[in-house]
Structures are given as C-alpha cells and as structure tokens.
Amino acid sequence: MNINLATTAPAEARSESELEARARRLAMQYSCSDAQEILRHAMEVEFPGRIALVSSFGAESAALLHLVSEIDKSIPVIFLETGKHFAQTLSYQRKLANQLGLTDVRDIRPNAEDVEAQDADGGLWKRDADACCTLRKVAPLASALDGFDAWITGRKQFHGAGRINLPAFEAAAAHIKVNPLIRWSSEAVAEYAAVNDLPAHPLVAQGYPSIGCWPCTHPVAAGEDVRAGRWRGSAKTECGIHGAAS
C-alpha cells in the first residue's frame, strides 16, 4: 500500500521534515563553497529580509561580522546581553559595530520578571548553569528569532566535540542555521582579521581564546582546547542555544 506522507503526516511534522530537507539540499549544494558564497546566497537569495546574525562579539567574532557587513550593514545582529558579560566585551561590541557600520545591533536581554523569579541574587550560574543559560540565553534568543527564517552562526569544525561534522546549513527547531565558517581554522580567522584591520577582543591578549559570560569563562593554557576555559571544572560545554547536537 502506498502512503502519501505529504498528505497524511501532521502539519507540524510535515513542515519540520520540509525544513530538514531544505537544509540538507542547501548543505549539499554549498558543501564546497567559501564563506562569502554561503553568506551571499543565504542573505540575498534564500532568506532575504528573513535572516539575522547571532554574535557574541567574542574572540573570533570580528571576521564573520565583517564578512556580513560587506554584504548588508543593515542585517539584524542579535547580541545576547545576559547581564554577565565582561565590561571589555560590551565596549568591544560598541567599537566593532561602529567600525563596521552595522546599523541594527540588537541587545537582547532576559525577561526581567523571569530573572527576578529565578535568579534574584544573580548566583544561579553557581547553582545551576544550565538553568542560568536557559534564562539568560536560550529563552531570549528564541523570542528574538521570532519572525526570522534563518540565523547565521560563527561555529567552526575545529572547535571539536559536536562541531566536527557541522554542515554549512542545518535545520534547528523552526529555523535554518547558516554556518559559513565551518572549515575556517583559528589561523584563518586571525589572518582574515589582520588583513582587514579588525580590532581584537581585548581579552584575547590575556589568554582568553573563547569568551562568554565572566563567571563561566577562564583563561586557557598553551596547548589546551580553545574552549577549555568555558565552564571550566564542569561537564558543560555548550550554553544550549545550539541544542545538544552542537
């Protein structure tokens, strides 16, 4: 008996599988493309006006922000303002956005009532880091992405763990994630920044190759994994905005 999945599957499952099929098609189509080609297609052809860049304005963020600004300086740039960033990150965000001429950088904050209810003393990160990331990153990002079809990330395969097999396009919940820098190495990021005269995050020179919130970010020794200073001493390796597979 032939079963027509297109008409028998629930609408939600159907749209999810359509999203996954679209992501797989794009990932195959752009599997050998460079970052500029991937970005141009995503921003100008596939998702025009329906795509945002999510940036932490961290140690490796400048290259992707520059690449995107070369295509469209008015693209929405989502910055998760957790309230726990280093002061250096906040000043770097303003400096870099200004230098690149980005016109729509959005500081996305956690819901104030939720913070009061769940983290009134500001110490949730010590008690339950996963809950803190959900409160300050995952939930605010989900709201901020309403109205977009896709978002751009700066994840790279060399970061290891679940990122080794990252594709250029992937389905994630109701969106497609675009990962134009998957094949970039740390050296390629540094070279791109140097050639384009991009400022470095001030904490990089102090031994921070990966930078998030101050309570959960520590310097890294020579030879350690680039993300070894994130949630040091715990099994946690991701904030949760990319899901378990990232």
Residue 207 CA, chain-centre distance (Å), reads 22
How many residues interact with ligand SF4 (rule CB under 6 A)?
13
- Contact by Cβ (8 Å): 229, 218: yes
Site residues for ligand SF4, 72-131, by CB under 6 A, read 82, 84, 125, 129
Residues in the chain: 246
The residue (of 136 and 156) whose beta carbon lies closer to ligand SF4 is 136
Q: Token digits for 36?
A: 């500029």
3-state secondary structure 68-131: HHHHCCCCCEEEECCCCECHHHHHHHHHHHHHHCCCCEEEECCCHHHHHHHCCCCCHHHHCHHH
By CB under 6 A, tell whether 215 contacts ligand SF4: yes
The residue (of 62 and 216) whose beta carbon lies closer to ligand SF4 is 216
Taking the complex as a whole, how short is the minimal distance between the CB of residue 234 and ligand SF4, in angstroms?
10
Q: How is the beta sheet containing 51-54 ordered, strand by strand?
A: 105-108, 77-80, 51-54, 150-152, 175-178, 169-172
User: CA–CA separation, 133 vs 241, rounded Å?
Assistant: 8
The residue (of 81 and 104) whose beta carbon lies closer to ligand SF4 is 81
Taking the complex as a whole, how short is the minimal distance between the CB of residue 109 and ligand SF4, in angstroms?
12
Taking the complex as a whole, how short is the minimal distance between the CB of residue 112 and ligand SF4, in angstroms?
15
The residue (of 162 and 215) whose beta carbon lies closer to ligand SF4 is 215
User: CA–CA separation, 82 vs 229, rounded Å?
Assistant: 18
By CB under 6 A, tell whether 144 contacts ligand SF4: no
Residue nearest to ligand SF4 according to CB distances in the complex: 213
By CB under 6 A, tell whether 69 contacts ligand SF4: no
Taking the complex as a whole, how short is the minimal distance between the CB of residue 222 and ligand SF4, in angstroms?
24
Q: Which residues are catalytic?
A: 239
The residue (of 44 and 107) whose beta carbon lies closer to ligand SF4 is 107
Taking the complex as a whole, how short is the minimal distance between the CB of residue 214 and ligand SF4, in angstroms?
7
By CB under 6 A, tell whether 42 contacts ligand SF4: no
User: CA–CA separation, 66 vs 81, rounded Å?
Assistant: 21
User: CA–CA separation, 140 vs 10, rounded Å?
Assistant: 28
Q: Which stretch binds ligand SF4 (CB under 6 A): 13-21, 39-47, 155-163, 213-221?
A: 213-221
Site string for ligand SF4, 159-198 (x = CB under 6 A): ----------------------------------------
Q: Cβ of 180: how many Cβ atoms within 10 Å?
A: 28
